[in-house]
Structure 1
Amino acid sequence: MAVDIVQLREWIGREESASEVVTPELVRRFNATLDLDGCSLPGDPAPLLIHLCLGQPAVPGAQLGSDGHPARGGFLPPVPLPRRMWAGGAFAFHDDIRVGETVTRTSRILDVALKEGRSGQLCFVTVEHRIGAGGRDVITERQDIVYRDAGSPKPAPTAAPAAAPEGAHRRLIVPTTTLLFRYSALTFNGHRIHYDAPYARDVEGYPGLVVHGPMQATMLLHLAADIGGRAPARFSFRSLSPLFDNADFILDAAEDGAALKLWTARVGGPVAMEAKAEW
């Protein structure tokens, strides 16, 4: 499929903003979905990465693509490659978001790049989000989105990837359909690969429902905060391979000097997401 990268790069510099209140009800639903402890009274610190649930585009059904995402060509560039995934990102935490505050996200397209991978064309869109609450800068975020062609040839077979190592800290996650559905609802994410099993299998060719990348990152960040006794100052992550609802997976962590290395992997499988937390 032809990709006009010159046209797509015209989207660099585009901005949009959205605001939403962190309500006690949202905090309770977030904590319940991810089995987190925490308070939800006005003024309490809100859970880490709850801002991913706020200010999401409320697009009418008629304006959604067949995959459940908003049709392209608004804030994000109209990349013609149909398969879209969140490939990675990074967060710098400056202050707590507090329950009851209005959170504003200002987003800007930083880069659009076309690359050739083993499976065909890949288009990477880099977005910066600046998160403010109560007049304070609270989070700076980089989001890496990747698009690929549905008809890309599969890469030549290679040796089976090595199983992920076991970390010093481990936590088992059972990716039930209920968990995936509830996280999609929290983030108003209509992408059908996370809740529509026939679509995920028959249209996109996956063996099951896909576990959300942002949810894996959120789980790893909360594990890091539990281990470190406080929230990290910086957290970055990168998706290497997908996880599905057909196998349990592990959150792993190991000390790396003053930092913490973290990763997810299905039981007995390779690393799916790798991350780093720094204080």
Structure 2
Amino acid sequence: MNDVNADAVNLQDWVGRTEEASDQAYPTPPRALAATLDQVGTDYAVGTPLPELWHWLYFLPMAPGREIGPDGHPKRGGFLPPIALERRMWASGRYVFRDHLRVGDVLHKTSEITKVAEKDGKTGRMVFVTVRHTVRSGRGLAVEEEQDIVYLPMPKTFTPPPPTKAPENPSWSEPAAIDPVLLFRFSALTFNGHRIHYDLPYAKDTEKYPGLVLHGPLQALLLLEAAKRHAPDRVPSSYSFRAVHPVFGHDRVTLMGVARDDGGVDLFTVNGDGHVGMQATVAWAANDQSR
């Protein structure tokens, strides 16, 4: 695949495009993720419920090496529009959990580009692409997902957004053990070749970050897993997250939860300076509901 000439296309032509994919929920990926997260007690035998968000271990974009761009992502074009901005990040996501996926299930995913929006930001032009995914098993619809991808120009210097202070009195907080091995293993498990997560010279010299970048999806996953540990009898019914400030592999990271009046929990990753990296919200299914 060659890069598409982004100047010759109308990005709105990509709205409405769809893509279908099938996979099977083999047990090795969740076993490997559990080991990566230092979790014990579940062997993920066939029939075991797959934790929420762990469908990210499947439907991996397996572009061959010759189709990889300089940042480690697949080259532009194809299903996603060929946006002529060098940086690409997963900015936010929204989820509704309808049913448990189970190890051994044959899975089917339908993806549709629902929106392409251009904006002007502090660092210049930005383009947001929203993709809606639905994941089904043989029992029916399991996960509804909306994913927001943002494209940005390559910066000349590190210019982070203004910091957001962490909650002063969280309902609970706990440290998260972050190191380069965790970043590398998560990249490998999700087949994410983006070099900012494992290639320190590239992250610093090309994308101008002060260190390796902690994945947005990994932060979202760590927050949801922590929320479930603090509410072991509850089942998530919906979840949303939004990245507000980069977090790095050398940061001292804390996970925080703040109880909401509606029964849900607001969640935050917080760096060593007390600044929020990601904020999220989980809503629980009613006690008489099961999946």
TM-score between both structures, scaled by the size of structure 1: 0.93
Residue identity opposite 2:18 in structure 1: E
Checking the alignment, whether the CA contact within 8 Å between 1:63 and 1:70 is kept in structure 2 is yes
Q: Which residue identity is paired with 1:44?
A: T
For residues 47 and 259 of structure 1, the distance between their equivalents in structure 2, rounded to whole angstroms, comes to 18
1:268 maps onto 2:280 in alignment = no
- AA matched with 2:193: G
Aligned-partner Cα distance in 2 for 1:231–1:93: 9
Mind listing any 5+ residue stretches in structure 1 that lack a counterpart? none
The residue aligned with 1:247 is 251
What is the alpha-carbon distance in structure 2 between the residues aligned to residue 162 and residue 214 of structure 1?
A: 20
One of 13, 36, 39 as aligned partner of 1:36: 39
Aligned to 1:188: 191
Partner of 1:20: 23
Report the Cα distance in structure 2 between the residues aligned to 1:212 and 1:202, rounded to whole angstroms. 19
Distance 1:56 1:161 in 2: 33
**Whole-angstrom CA distance in 1 between matches of 2:75 and 2:127:** 17
Which one is further off, 236-245 or 34-43?
34-43
* The one of 270, 282, 286 aligned to 1:277: 282
2:30–2:57: 8 Å Cα contact kept in structure 1?
no
1:178 counterpart = 2:181: yes
Q: Tell me the percent identity.
A: 44
The equivalent of 2:63 in structure 1 is 59
Structure 2 Cα separation of the partners of residues 210 and 256 of structure 1: 30
Cα offset, 1:152, TM superposition: 6.8
Given candidates 6, 11, 16, the residue that maps to 1:8 is 11
Shift of 1:165: 2.2
CA distance in 2, matches of 1:43, 1:194: 33
Which has the higher mean CA deviation after the structures are superposed, 160-169 or 174-183? Answer: 160-169
Shift of residue 62, structure 1, vs aligned partner: 0.6
User: Is the deviation greater in 267-276 or in 118-127?
Assistant: 267-276
* CA distance in 1: counterparts of 2:223 and 2:204, whole angstroms: 27
Preserved CA contact (<8 Å) 1:251 1:262:
yes
Look up the equivalent residue of 1:250 and give its one-letter code: T
Q: Per the alignment, in what secondary structure is the counterpart of residue 80 of structure 1?
A: coil
- Offset at residue 217 of structure 1 (A): 0.5
